[in-house]
Amino acid sequence: MTLKEPVPVAPGTATGAKAEPPHRATAWPEARAAAARAGTAARAGREPRRLPLGQALGHALAEPLLALTDLPSFDTSAMDGWAVAGPGPWSVRTETPVLAGHAPAAALTDGEAVRIATGAPVPPGTTAVIRTEHSRTERTDTERTDTEPAESADRTESTERAGGVAAPGPVLHALRGVVPGQDIRPRGQECRAGDELLPAGTEVTPVVLGLAAAAGYDELPVPPRPRVEVLVLGDELLTAGLPHEGLIRDALGPMLGPWLAALGAEVLATRRIGDDAEELYAAVTGSAADLVVTTGGTAAGPVDHLHRVLDKAGATLLVDGVKVRPGHPMLLAALGGHRHLVGLPGNPLAAVSGLLTLAEPLLAALVGASPSGGRAPVLDEVHGHPYDTRLVPVVRRGEQLVPLRYNGPAMLRGIAVADGMAVVPPGGARSGQELDVLDLPWPPTSGAVPAQGACFT
């Protein structure tokens, strides 16, 4: 590998030159934006497919979720009790109670009441629903003048005297004031047909499935999953056993496939290529993936073939180095035909940095989603790079971010227990300063993290 960076010259030195940024790489926020733009452009022409609700979990909505019906779709009783019309007392209509899932009962006229269950359509003319426990019924039968609890109304609703002569039905009294409309969920209370319930790009969670079903959907439109292939470069990598004689375990092959899958990708394969330029050329040009992710070989060492291979393949470098630590040799290339390649540096935490900087925004844009993240204050001062952004593994402690100790470019020990990576601007961050945080696509840690400290090598 050759040194990519001119040594910065301090102002006032013998050369008289001003201090220059140490390399001509893309600024970190612009690199992320370029990756998102690449994903958005590649998204054009990728037709959404319709998946049954049972298969749509975890996808992003390809289109806004528009209500296919009013919700509720009819005026609904919110309580078990009585549908009443006008002021009371009411004469109870002694028909079958109105139940959920049944056709609406005949219209009520002022002074009438009918038993009704939660979720049942209120009869036309209903002005309020009175909860069972806020009511009492009274028989008008001369043999019985005592009042009875409403729960036993069914038993009191005998309309026949001995001899078959119709008796007046029971009378319903309210035990509290009755407000017009009380305990009625009016049609369209939650939404009207055509209302946007959720924007495109929303992740389909279990609740989204429930809302979609309530709103009338059997299927949901989702973008096709981006197809990704991972190519792991490096002759020094072992796939099993202990490191020995300069050989080390491949830490990225086992990590990247599942990580990319957690970001919504369909991982076609993870292939180990070694340091063979021809094999790499064949793998890159022959890949059927929308996104090829390579690891290693991004720098300028004797066996770092990636730039030469991309050049030979006619690829266009959209980002060639990013002003970020770790991971500054990362790159993004357009391969033609809406296909892209993200080159992750070989150092494992540098590869994570490249994944979050370039691969995540590109994949999110390909499916119309937004990259995850938020902002939070950092507990202590964080050392910064003079010119470049730093990405630092952090845990969330309450509202605050705590940087983790093992954050060197070759280390995964910090990020393994992290909740995300804090974005530390050039020059560093003060204690209490708000920082952007890049989330990881799995639940936060329990917070049981070893003691903190600094370790930058």
Binding site for ligand MOO (CB under 6 A): 325-328, 345, 347, 350, 409
The torsion angles phi and psi of 453, rounded to 5 degrees, stand at 170, -165
Give yes or no for a contact between 187 and 72, defined as CB atoms under 8 angstroms apart. yes
Structure tokens at 214: 């309530």
> CA 118, CA 288: separation in Å to the nearest integer?
55
Give Cβ neighbours of residue 2 (< 8 Å, ≥ 6 apart).
300, 301
In whole angstroms, the minimum distance from the beta carbon of 222 to ligand LQZAQKY5 comes to 32
Is 299 an interacting residue with respect to ligand LQZAQKY5 (CB under 6 A)? yes
**What does each C-alpha distance from 39 to 116, 158, 201, 419 come to in angstroms?**
54, 72, 14, 25
In whole angstroms, the minimum distance from the beta carbon of 351 to ligand LQZAQKY5 comes to 7
Which of these segments, 159-167, 219-227, 344-352, 394-402, binds ligand LQZAQKY5 (CB under 6 A)? 344-352
Is 388 an interacting residue with respect to ligand LQZAQKY5 (CB under 6 A)? no
Identity of the residue, 115 or 305, whose beta carbon is nearer to ligand LQZAQKY5 in the bound complex = 305
Q: Where is 154: in which H helix or E strand?
A: helix 153-156
> CA 413, CA 393: separation in Å to the nearest integer?
10
Q: Where is 172: in which H helix or E strand?
A: strand 171-174
> CA 96, CA 187: separation in Å to the nearest integer?
24
Identity of the residue, 2 or 15, whose beta carbon is nearer to ligand LQZAQKY5 in the bound complex = 2
The amino acid occupying position 322 is V
Structure tokens at 457: 């090598």
Which of these segments, 121-129, 150-158, 339-347, 377-385, binds ligand LQZAQKY5 (CB under 6 A)? 339-347
Binding mask 210-249 for ligand LQZAQKY5 (x = CB under 6 A): ----------------------x-x-xx----------x-
Identity of the residue, 138 or 250, whose beta carbon is nearer to ligand LQZAQKY5 in the bound complex = 250
Cis ω for the linkage preceding 326 (within 30 of 0): yes
Identity of the residue, 156 or 347, whose beta carbon is nearer to ligand LQZAQKY5 in the bound complex = 347
Identity of the residue, 77 or 389, whose beta carbon is nearer to ligand MOO in the bound complex = 389
In whole angstroms, the minimum distance from the beta carbon of 348 to ligand LQZAQKY5 comes to 5
Helix, coil or strand: residue 34: helix
Is 3 an interacting residue with respect to ligand LQZAQKY5 (CB under 6 A)? yes
Displacement of CA 338 from its chain's centroid (Å): 25
Residues of the shown chain interacting with ligand LQZAQKY5 in the complex, contacts defined by CB under 6 A: 1-4, 232, 234, 236-237, 248, 250-252, 295-299, 301, 304, 326-329, 345-348, 350, 409
